[in-house]
Amino acid sequence: MSAAKFSVSTQDHVLLSNFGVKNTSILKEFSLNVTSNILVITFTPLGNSIAFLNAIEVVSVPDGLIANEVDTVNSPARFQGLLPLALETVWRVNMGGPKVTFDNDTLWRTWVPDRSFLLQENFAKDISNIAAVQYVKGGATEDIAPPTVYGTATEMNSSGDPNSNFNISWEFNVDPGFQYFVRFHFCDIVSKSLHELYFNAYIDSWIVLRDVDLTTYSFNTLGAAFYMDFVTLSAVSTKLRISIGPSLVGGAYPNAILNGLEIMKMNNSMGSLSAAASMIIPSDSSSKKNVGVIVGVSIGAFITVVLAVILFVLCRKGKKLALQRNSKTWVPISINGGNTQSMGSKYSSGTTASAISNYGYRIPFAAVQEATNNFDESWVIGIGGFGKVYKGVLSNGTQVAVKRGNPRSQQGLAEFQTEIEMLSQFRHRHLVSLIGYCDEKNEMILVYEYMENGTLKSHLYGSGLPNLSWKQRLEICIGAARGLHYLHTGYAKAVIHRDVKSANILLDENLMAKVADFGLSKTGPEIDQTHVSTAVKGSFGYLDPEYFRRQQLTEKSDVYSFGVVLFEVLCARPVIDPSLPREMVNLAEWAMKWQNRGQLEQIIDSTLVGKVRPDSLRKFGETAEKCLADFGVDRPAMGDVLWNLEYALQLQEAVTDGDPEENSTNMIGELSPQVNNFGSSSTNVSATQLGVSVVDDLSGVSMSRVFSQLLKSEGR
């Protein structure tokens, strides 16, 4: 692979050309303005070489993150037309502070310290005052830069000398022949009062800010965060110098500060970000050696594409990275915290693993092989992110579902252990039961009770199964709500599922719902806390936007996801469907529009037309709407959701005297033609589409643009 040479392009831009890496790891980050429903990323090997990558992330960012028009260095004219350009992040620097990682950035960015870029370190002094940072209306937001960036700064090390007159300068490597987008981040965390600080800022030898008074730009608020953008001239050098220095304004104490800096390369006139770009952006008839990755996105979403290549997996799992470094093959986990020797040889029908109480049993690998006919491919009943799921029969005749971990899956040891620990604690008729597990021979196998009717998702669209009646759908939703309510309230500390979706709600032979897949589950906050701070995980389309923005997890995140499931049950279509018109791509957002109009009946599953009582539908829609409130504090608890769904079922079944509107026996009539053409769509993503269900994270942006990027058709 060290000899590999290839190019990477989108429909409109060349991102990398003649690209190769030797014995190292590289992370590349690009910002693109996507204006169609599909983003195609093409990897083109050069000559007889190969093309490869280890990871790719697609992250939606707010529309206003970068303006279309900004100031130009050494020109009175402003640069216009920035949004259509492709940008490559070259440097993102936290002045005067430590490295800031994705854990402390709402958009998962990394900010490196500035010390290594200083030309004269003794001229500079670090300062920190995070508590002073304020985000005011019209200024910067946390999406622009986090408090850990605005709360630190590099300032002049003048040692109290009122006659100090020098500049602090940083120097950065750049590619000549390109223009660069430069963003200065400012926050006055040093002054005691307004109008104390005046200074100049430079890009190379050009002064871009003269006698700047931070008060003028910070709405007369001390400590207000803001930023200023510039576009450089085409670089003629391999170095770009950024400087700040004292102003000559009379009476001003000599000082200057800078809190953060971002430098992004702009594509050239050929639409390329590579100096070596001789390739043509591929068309549909390009060489068959092109490898296309297609990502469904919402029109107009401004996204960041992160490419991690050469044995470097961009992992948002942070603390779990050590698990991946241990070995190229999996080791058996020790649930008891001891050595990793498999316990399979000690198995007997009466032996239990102490850490999972009396419920979960280690099952020998030979028994699992026998139960699945040696993992017969014809016995596969599902494929998810963890691996394949087989139907099996134990020696006592019990039917089971056997989930076998895929060695190439990223959902490895940690989720395997979490699933065992969680399911071994619970016994509830609406939670799938764990029968046992196997960790012999480096395997990770989970054995569950068999659910005859598969996933709720498969009964809604895409599988050709018989349609569910409205009563059946309500009963299934009620069952799932009971399971989630038990998770949230059944123990001293709540358990948050974190991956509630229709593919994780299973149905037994009587169509009774049971919540499944606890690999991402997490215990809730302590009594004296309101949330759990954690990296974002879940499934696109179902993910709580507040959790996504703030990385603060509560039970209300499950409530939001369940609200999406309710609309999915009502409309019988995927929660994200890039093949539909833009306004219909995101189910939650689209359904909420009709709910707010009071016309939810216009978008229900066509098989339900004429079969749903208006008052039952009204109560159901109101319940889903409350679940999808923007802020968790405004969402109901799962117990309240359960009560309202039970009431909706009563309204559907009741024939009582009273208000003719509230108890009408008139059923929902015909759908309007403009929204009835998708019906029970069997839309599935093709094999060439990139499916990402689990993510390890954006205020001010339409949620359809956040959650309509990626789609995975199968369950985990």
Tell me the mean pLDDT in the region 193-219: 89
Tell me the mean pLDDT in the region 289-294: 46
Q: What pLDDT sits at residue 99?
A: 94
Rounded-to-integer distance, Cα 366 and Cα 418, Å: 24
Region(s) of the chain under CATH 3.30.200.20: 328-449
Task: Confirm if 399 and 419 have CB atoms less than 8 A apart.
Answer: no
Q: Does domain 456-521+532-680 have CATH number 3.30.390.50?
A: no
Tell me the mean pLDDT in the region 339-346: 32
- Lowest pLDDT segment from 5-9, 263-267, 504-508, 525-529: 525-529
Highest mean pLDDT among 295-304, 483-492, 633-642, 671-680: 633-642
Q: What pLDDT sits at residue 216?
A: 82
Rounded to 10 deg, the angle between the 555-571 and 470-489 helix axes is 170
| Full 3-state SS string of 398-443 | CEEEEEEECCCCCCCHHHHHHHHHHHHHCCCCCECCEEEEECHHHC
Q: For the chain, how many residues are written?
A: 716
Q: What pLDDT sits at residue 2?
A: 73
Instruction: Give the strand pairing for 198-203 and 206-213.
Output: antiparallel
Tell me the mean pLDDT in the region 125-130: 94
Rounded-to-integer distance, Cα 688 and Cα 294, Å: 6
Helix or strand or coil: residue 325? Answer: helix
Tell me the mean pLDDT in the region 471-482: 97
For every residue of 112-140, DSSP letters joined together read: EESGGGBS-GGGEEEEE-GGG-B--TTS-
Q: Which long-range contacts (CB under 8 A, 24 or more apart) does 22-26 make?
A: 24/310, 25/308, 25/309, 25/310, 25/311, 25/312, 26/308, 26/309, 26/310, 26/312
- Alpha helices per DSSP H over 167-287: 214-217
Q: What pLDDT sits at residue 140?
A: 94
Q: What pLDDT sits at residue 412?
A: 67
Tell me the mean pLDDT in the region 299-328: 35
Backbone φ, ψ for residue 87 (5° rounding): -125, 140
Unique residue bearing structure tokens 């709910």: 595
Task: Confirm if 263 and 186 have CB atoms less than 8 A apart.
Answer: no
pLDDT at 691 over 50: no
- Percentages helix, strand, coil for the chain (3-state, rounded to 5) are 25, 25, 50
Mean pLDDT rounded to a whole number for the chain: 78
> What's CA 715's distance to the chain center, in Å?
17
HSE, side-chain direction, 13 A CA sphere, residue 451? 30
Question: What pLDDT digit, counting tens, does each position of 345-376 carry?
Answer: 322 332 223 333 333 478 899 999 999 999 99
For every residue of 504-530, DSSP letters joined together read: GEEE-TT--EEE---TT-EE---TT-S
What are the Cα distances from residue 423, in Å, to 361, 363, 487?
12, 16, 11
Question: What pLDDT digit, counting tens, does each position of 252-265 carry?
Answer: 678 999 999 999 99
Nearest to 109 by CA among 219, 260, 225, 220: 260
Is 125 known to sit in a ligand binding site? no
Nearest to 420 by CA among 480, 365, 359: 359
Region(s) of the chain under CATH 1.10.510.10: 456-521+532-680
Q: How confident is the model at residue 699 (pLDDT cuts 50, 70, 90)?
A: very low
- Lowest pLDDT segment from 210-214, 326-330, 509-513: 326-330
Q: Which long-range contacts (CB under 8 A, 24 or more apart) does 527-535 make?
A: 530/554, 532/496, 535/102, 535/103, 535/316, 535/317, 535/318, 535/696, 535/697
Q: Report the b/e string of 59-91 with b at 16+ CB within 10 A.
A: bbbbeebbeeebbbbeeeeebeebbebbbbbbb
Rounded-to-integer distance, Cα 539 and Cα 528, Å: 29
For every residue of 65-120, DSSP letters joined together read: GS-SEEEETTEEEEEE--TTS-EEEEEEEETTS--B-GGG-TT---BEESGGGBS-
Q: Is the pTM of the predicted complex or chain greater than 0.85?
A: no
Task: Confirm if 210 and 202 have CB atoms less than 8 A apart.
Answer: no
Q: How confident is the model at residue 251 (pLDDT cuts 50, 70, 90)?
A: low
Residues marked active site are found at 499
Question: What pLDDT digit, counting tens, does each position of 633-660 carry?
Answer: 999 999 999 999 999 999 999 853 344 4
Q: What pLDDT sits at residue 224?
A: 94
The strand ranges marked E within 297-411 are 302-309, 361-362, 380-383, 387-393, 399-405
Rounded-to-integer distance, Cα 199 and Cα 673, Å: 63
Share above pLDDT 90 across residues of the chain, in percent, rounded to a whole number: 46
What are the Cα distances from residue 648, in Å, to 448, 472, 569, 607, 624?
32, 12, 14, 19, 12
Task: Confirm if 168 and 118 have CB atoms less than 8 A apart.
Answer: yes
* Contacts (Cβ under 8 Å, ≥6 apart) of 265: 87, 88, 90, 174, 175, 178, 179, 180, 181, 273
Q: What pLDDT sits at residue 337?
A: 35
pLDDT at 276 over 60: yes
Rounded-to-integer distance, Cα 390 and Cα 117, Å: 55
Helix or strand or coil: residue 626? Answer: helix
Question: What pLDDT digit, counting tens, does each position of 153-174 carry?
Answer: 999 998 766 677 889 999 999 9
328-449 has which CATH code?
3.30.200.20
Q: What residues does 291 pair with on adjacent strands?
A: 43
Q: What pLDDT sits at residue 406?
A: 75
Question: What pLDDT digit, counting tens, does each position of 544-586 carry?
Answer: 988 888 878 889 999 999 999 999 999 999 999 988 998 999 9
Helix or strand or coil: residue 703? Answer: helix
More confident residue, 359 or 120: 120
Task: Confirm if 541 and 588 have CB atoms less than 8 A apart.
Answer: yes
Unique residue bearing structure tokens 């060349």: 14
- Lowest pLDDT segment from 29-38, 221-230, 295-304, 402-411: 295-304
pLDDT at 524 over 80: no
The DSSP call for residue 603 is G
More confident residue, 527 or 653: 653
